[in-house]
């Protein structure tokens, strides 16, 4: 929790309110530990909103944005969320009147400043489904000046795993430049997530961005990182269940799969393996145990040989693992353990056969 306390201090010093976004790790036990360090949670669906409210009780705010907002969920969401940012002008026009007086109504915008080279993760890509493009908003406002009556804030989220906060400042500058007048009528701006600012980060660009918005436009500012909280504290501990030669490479089959660490497969980047030594004497192709041929974690070398039963530990594995892992091949999901400040490892959740059966439509 040192990390959460540190993030809270850095964010507060920049004049900004900190939210934790549930999407990388929505484990209730972790959310309970994080809750005292944040102003609230940010969510992407009705189920996440319910979980957020269950953990927070009345002690924090719940902020939501999603392209998947459904009319038939609005009443429930109104009772759970404090801020709801609509993703499009069509939903703003049709659905936002139904929320009047029940939640602070916002609009997600797309500042059209691309910061991410992998288009799969670029919310500002061409034909993006995420947020109202700035020019479309400007045109709509010119055509219908009263369009945003009742709007209290705006949300954007445009980056992914950035250690540098300068792109956030550039985005805010663009926003203030283009939307200066309307911004002054609002009461909040949510800067989204995508920034991995940790203890050694230069937070001056965040402070400057917040000042532009707070002092220049009079709005309260929120930021909602996820991976910055969750990535480094998490690890996946696997065991070797088989070793054999395949075309001159030693394959070490593990009792896990890339389906438990989906970012490895999505990015095709080798994960961080504890004790791995580049060019070390004992090299293995670390493989998952599913039937998928490409279920491999890459080649990693160690100073000591692996044997059946050896542990292999994937580090920095806390973000976008648990919410994205799945039951492919009926391989059990990993048990979840917490490490206490005293160094004790405590089992928090293990997955049993009946959960697999339920998932498969059984009893
Ligand atoms: C709207 C929104 N907010 C926050 C985040 C959190 O991003 P990260 O975990 O990279 O900080 C995301 C990630 O996709 C997002 O879509």
Cα-to-centroid distance, 21 and ligand 1 (Å): 7
pLDDT of residue 201: 87
Cα-to-centroid distance, 26 and ligand 1 (Å): 13
Count Cα atoms within 13 angstroms, Cβ side, for 31. 27
Cα-to-centroid distance, 191 and ligand 1 (Å): 10
Q: Which atom of ligand 1 is nearest to the CA of 195?
A: 11
The conformation of residue 102, written as its DSSP 8-state character, comes to T
Which of 40, 224, 266, 320, when mutated, tests ligand 1's pocket best, judged by the most ligand atoms within 8 Å of its CB? 224
DSSP 279-319: T-SEEEEEE-SSS-TT-EEEEEEESS---TT-EEEEES--S
Q: Which atom of ligand 1 is nearest to the CA of 44?
A: 1
pLDDT of residue 1: 64
Q: Which atom of ligand 1 is nearest to the CA of 227?
A: 9
pLDDT of residue 181: 86
Cα-to-centroid distance, 230 and ligand 1 (Å): 12
Cα-to-centroid distance, 192 and ligand 1 (Å): 6
pLDDT of residue 160: 94
Q: Which atom of ligand 1 is nearest to the CA of 230?
A: 9
Ligand 1 pocket at CB < 6 A = 21, 23-24, 42, 65, 157, 160-161, 192-194, 224-228
CA dihedral sign, ordered 117, 118, 121, 123: positive
On whether the CB atoms of residues 192 and 225 are closer than 8 A, the answer is: no
Which of 157, 159, 162, 267, when mutated, tests ligand 1's pocket best, judged by the most ligand atoms within 8 Å of its CB? 157
Cα-to-centroid distance, 348 and ligand 1 (Å): 25
3-state helix, strand, coil in the chain (%, to 5): 35, 25, 40
Burial 285-309 (b: 16+ CB within 10 A, else e): bbbbbbeeeebbbeebebeeebeee
Nearest CA to ligand 1 atom 4: 193
Cα-to-centroid distance, 320 and ligand 1 (Å): 10
The pTM assigned to this predicted structure is: 0.95
Both tokens of 151, joined, read 């709007």
Q: Which domains does the chain have, with CATH numbers?
A: 2-230 (3.20.20.10), 236-359 (2.40.37.10)
Both tokens of 238, joined, read 């696997």
On whether the CB atoms of residues 24 and 48 are closer than 8 A, the answer is: no
Q: Which residues of the chain have pLDDT under 50?
A: none
Which residues on neighbouring strands pair with residue 336, listed in sequence order?
349
Nearest CA to ligand 1 atom 10: 194
Cα-to-centroid distance, 146 and ligand 1 (Å): 31
Q: Which atom of ligand 1 is nearest to the CA of 228?
A: 11
Q: List, in sequence order, the alpha helices (H) in the chain.
A: 2-13, 28-34, 46-56, 74-80, 89-95, 134-143, 166-184, 204-217, 227-230, 262-267, 353-359
């Amino acid at each position: 929790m040192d990390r959460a306390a540190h993030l809270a201090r850095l964010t507060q010093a920049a004049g900004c309110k900190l939210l934790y976004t549930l999407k990388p790790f929505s484990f209730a036990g972790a959310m309970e530990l994080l809750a005292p360090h944040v102003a609230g949670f940010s969510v992407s669906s009705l189920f996440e909103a319910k979980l957020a409210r269950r953990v927070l009780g009345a002690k924090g705010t719940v902020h939501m944005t999603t392209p998947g907002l459904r009319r038939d969920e609005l009443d429930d969401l109104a009772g759970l969320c404090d801020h709801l940012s609509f993703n499009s002008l069509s939903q703003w026009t049709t659905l936002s009147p139904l929320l009047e007086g029940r939640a602070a109504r916002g609009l997600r915008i797309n500042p059209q400043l691309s910061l991410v080279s992998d288009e799969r993760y670029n919310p500002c890509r061409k034909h993006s489904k995420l947020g109202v493009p700035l020019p479309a908003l400007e045109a709509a406002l010119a055509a219908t000046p009263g369009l945003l009556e009742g709007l209290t804030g705006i949300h954007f989220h445009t980056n992914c795993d950035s250690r540098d906060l300068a792109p956030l400042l550039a985005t805010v500058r663009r926003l203030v430049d283009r939307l200066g007048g309307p911004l002054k009528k609002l009461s909040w701006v949510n800067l989204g997530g995508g920034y991995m600012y940790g203890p050694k980060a230069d937070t001056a660009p965040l402070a400057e961005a917040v000042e532009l918005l707070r002092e220049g436009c009079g709005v309260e500012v929120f930021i909602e990182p996820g991976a910055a909280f969750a990535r480094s504290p998490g690890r996946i501990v696997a065991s070797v269940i088989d070793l054999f030669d395949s075309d001159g490479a030693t394959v070490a089959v593990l009792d896990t799969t890339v389906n438990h660490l989906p970012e490895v497969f999505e990015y095709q980047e080798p994960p961080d393996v504890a004790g791995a030594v580049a060019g070390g004497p004992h090299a293995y192709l670390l493989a998952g145990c599913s039937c998928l041929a490409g279920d491999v974690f890459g080649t990693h070398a160690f100073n000591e040989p692996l044997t059946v039963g050896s542990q292999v530990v994937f580090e920095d594995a806390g973000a976008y693992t648990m919410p994205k892992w799945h039951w492919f091949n009926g391989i059990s999901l990993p048990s979840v353990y917490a490490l206490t400040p005293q160094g004790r490892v405590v089992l928090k959740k293990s997955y049993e056969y009946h959960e697999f059966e339920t998932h498969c439509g059984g009893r």
